[in-house]
Amino acid sequence: MQTKPVLTLDDVKKIAAAAEAEAKANNWPVVIAVVDDGGHLMWLQRLDGVAPISAHIAPAKATTAALGKRESKIYEDIINNGRYSFLSAPFIEGMLEGGVPIIVEGQCVGAVGVSGVKSAEDAQIAKAGIAALGL
């Protein structure tokens, strides 16, 4: 039987704090979502001034990245390059840049999804959060 690391609440708090710091340093109002490897929500944080829809988009991006074990931007690129049938893929709705998987020892243990600013900036915030784990 194989074993793999898992996210703890302490890990999630570190990720959220670092992501929030990155967002605030740039004056970006966003929603930050952290999910486990099954896409189950472990953290949702909505900063002041962000559009309410972002509270739905950020967890969707995180879930997409966790279930696919890759950045959600990859799916956006697939669709933008003409493979529209990918829109029917089951269980993933956040096929926009801003979802980043958390990879530990080669295993996906979860993901961070951010929504509220430009997609590349969302991804920047997510990656800053993950970097707080020192992986």
Please state, for a pLDDT cut of 70, what percent of the chain lies above it.
100
Nearby residues of 19 by Cβ (< 8 Å), 6 or more positions away:
32, 45, 112, 114, 125, 126, 128, 129, 132
> Average pLDDT of 81-88?
91
Please state, for a pLDDT cut of 90, what percent of the chain lies above it.
90
> Average pLDDT of 70-85?
94
> Average pLDDT of 64-80?
95
Mean of all residue pLDDT scores within the chain:
96
Phi (first) and psi of residue 2, to 5 degrees: -90, 160
For the chain, the structural domain boundaries read 9-131
Whether 135 shows a pLDDT value over 90: the answer reads no
DSSP string, 97-132: TTEEEEEETTEEEEEEEEESS-HHHHHHHHHHHHHT
CATH number given to 9-131: 3.30.450.150
> Average pLDDT of 121-131?
98
Rg value, the chain, Cα? 14
Instruction: Place 86 in a pLDDT band, splitting at 50, 70 and 90.
Output: confident
Determine how many CB atoms are found less than 10 A away from the CB of residue 39. Answer: 21
Whether 64 shows a pLDDT value over 90: the answer reads yes
Q: Say which residue, 96 or 86, is predicted with more confidence.
A: 96
